[in-house]
Chains A and B, each alone.
Chain A
Amino acid sequence: MREKTPEPRCLILACGNPLRGDDGAAWRLAELAQPQLPSSVRVILQQQWTPELAEDIARADAALFVDCSLAAQPGSVTLESVTAATAFPSFLSHHVDAASLLRLSESLYGLVPATANLLLIGAFSLEHTEELSPAVKAAMPKALELLLGWARNQTEDRPI
């Protein structure tokens, strides 16, 4: 059982490679947001989500996964809730998705955050560049607003 703390433990997990164009969108967004976030919000930037994050996730009251997707409309920004996968993936490369990580937290530590969301930014190109595409660059203010709003909701509205 998770111990009670005076402030909620919020975790933001940003995933991507800043050297691969829009793949770095989540990373850059988290860096932009970090100075404006309350101290109770912990940010972890990684190029890939790996099973070792399961313990951090299990300890969090709220978790926000931030990633980009080539499958989404370039420049689109969505915030949706995410729940633990009903089954583990049948293979493992270097990367584990948010739902599988939640499942892993649940299986190993018996805990998942009360709130878990996925902020997804539609990517246009993952080519070798440190620049974001114009579509993703234009979407960053909205993504930042959503991320900061999420953090505010978790830290201000929590019943003590």
Chain B
Amino acid sequence: MSQTITIDPVTRLEGHGKITLHLNDAGSVENAEFTVTQVRGFEKFSEGRPFYEMPSLMARVCGICPVSHLLASAKAGEAIMAVRIPYTATQLRSISNLAQMVQSHALSFFYLSSPDLLLGMDSDPVTRNIFGVVGANPEIGKAGIGLRRFGQTVIEILGTKRIHTGWIVGGGVTDPLTLDKREKMLAMLPEAYANIKLALKWYKSILPSFKREVATFASEPSAFLGMVGKDGKFELSDGTLSLIDPKGAPIATGITAADFDDVFGEAVEPYSFTKFAYFKALGYPDGSYRVGPLARLNIAKTMGTPLADAELDEFRQLESGPVQGSFHFHQARLVEILYGIEKIEELLGDAEILSPHVRATAGVNCLEGAGISEAPRGTLMHHYKVDDNGLMTWSNMVIATGQNNHAMNRGILQVAKEFVRGNELEQGMLNRVEAVIRTFDPCLSCSTHAYGKMPLAIELRGPGNELLSKIRR
């Protein structure tokens, strides 16, 4: 007798989603669906707006990673303007994107996932939050809050606001960096280094206690997509995309924003409002791939900064070939935080970082443009079309969650097969099915990520949709 289990809503994510597990006649999990239940409509309501308004408008997609949207949108605008932005503007925008990477990863790791890691996946949901982390391990709590504060403060120093700054625009940035602002950022670096070193040491010490989760959390081999810079170096803001196969061999390299729509497609499944991105040459779902910290570390030849390179060497020892276990997204995030801090320091020391030349200006020179950046959760692409007056006629965004969608669904199925046993619905199963999603840190959209007391229910239903069993917290 086939049955269905629904987890609705899934907590500690950016936005709302639900999970449905389908059981076969033998009571084993046969299929899993991760459903994103929201519609945002940004692509539609941006129609008719001037293209130069798009960065600030599209940044409102998210309060956690607005800099990535600003960047991808500004680059799409620059393609429409057909301009090359000043060198210093590129470097300054990179600092802002790196700072966002640090603060967003700190939120994901310390606020959303570390409660599971520190307190245990079966611990009381009432204490499984950042306050529980502070209570159980104040130094880790302090490090997490400190890193988030560091990233937010750098964004604020550069752009006067920590969320939804209007500083990044098509053509560059609105204001150059001043000496006193640079000194303020440099002064924060020692504490940031100390915090991430503490976190990495702690994480590596607890990793051995999660062997079962490492083995079953979305660990099926997949392709990976991410940005790289010159010589295959790790890059987040200004590079091209590379796609590697599950064994690490290149499938496609040098993919630019302008190529994106030719190379990648988006499939639609009837159960979710989020699309499923795939590599067109392999079709859907065979062309599905993963993006984000795990993908980026698997693709980059080197990080390009000394401490992060040492961590990358260690990270690569986790598995033979590309690291497939999605549980290792956590460690990849910490390595990227370390890289972000090192790279910010390097960029602040750039001889031209205080240059006043930070913005190129132009009108409409092309009627279509696309831009890419690496958001904390993975590759982000904005694609715009305008009329002769520069008014938007069409837009499309491809976000990380859509690109990880297939892997997340497969991951839920994998973890459910391991932890769900027929009619026995247990809190521990629920926690792990949620936790596998959390490793991807999906951004379903900006919404509350209240946790602990958020209503959460799993329903077990029979073939006639009759309720067989239900647990709630």
- The answer to whether B453 and A90 touch across the interface, beta carbons within 8 angstroms, is yes
On chain A, the number of residues with a Cβ less than 8 Å from chain B's Cβ atoms is 17
Shortest CB–CB separation between residue A34 and chain B, in angstroms?
A: 15
- The answer to whether B149 and A92 touch across the interface, beta carbons within 8 angstroms, is no
Could you tell me which residues of chain B, from 247 to 268, have a CB within 8 Å of some CB in chain A?
Answer: none
- The answer to whether A91 and B453 touch across the interface, beta carbons within 8 angstroms, is yes
Nearest CB to that of A100 among chain B residues? B131
Q: Which of A52, A104, A109 contacts B131 (CB 8 A)?
A: A104
Contacts of A92 in B (CB 8 A): 111, 129-131, 450-452
Judged by a CB distance under 8 angstroms, whether A93 is at the interface is yes
Q: How far is the CA of A52 from the CA of B146 in the complex (A)?
A: 7
Contacts of A4 in B (CB 8 A): none
- The answer to whether B111 and A88 touch across the interface, beta carbons within 8 angstroms, is no
0/1 string, B279-297, CB within 8 A of A gives 1: 0000000000000000000
Shortest CB–CB separation between residue A119 and chain B, in angstroms?
A: 24
Contacts of B451 in A (CB 8 A): 91-92
Contacts of B448 in A (CB 8 A): 93-94
On chain B, the number of residues with a Cβ less than 8 Å from chain A's Cβ atoms is 25
Judged by a CB distance under 8 angstroms, whether B449 is at the interface is yes
Q: How far is the CA of A94 from the CA of B132 in the complex (A)?
A: 16
Contacts of A100 in B (CB 8 A): 131
Judged by a CB distance under 8 angstroms, whether B119 is at the interface is no
Q: How far is the CA of A94 from the CA of B449 in the complex (A)?
A: 7
Q: How far is the CA of A39 from the CA of B13 in the complex (A)?
A: 41
Judged by a CB distance under 8 angstroms, whether A107 is at the interface is yes
- The answer to whether B138 and A90 touch across the interface, beta carbons within 8 angstroms, is no
Judged by a CB distance under 8 angstroms, whether A41 is at the interface is no
Chain A interface (Cβ < 8 Å from any Cβ of B): 47, 51-52, 54-55, 88-94, 100, 104, 107-109
Contacts A91-B454, A92-B129, A92-B130 known; list 8 others, CB within 8 Å. Answer: A51-B148, A52-B149, A54-B145, A90-B127, A100-B131, A104-B134, A107-B134, A108-B141
25 A-B pairs with C-beta separation under 8 A: A52-B148, A54-B145, A55-B145, A55-B146, A88-B132, A88-B135, A89-B131, A90-B127, A90-B452, A91-B126, A91-B129, A91-B451, A91-B453, A92-B111, A92-B129, A92-B130, A93-B448, A94-B448, A100-B131, A104-B131, A104-B134, A107-B134, A107-B135, A108-B134, A109-B142
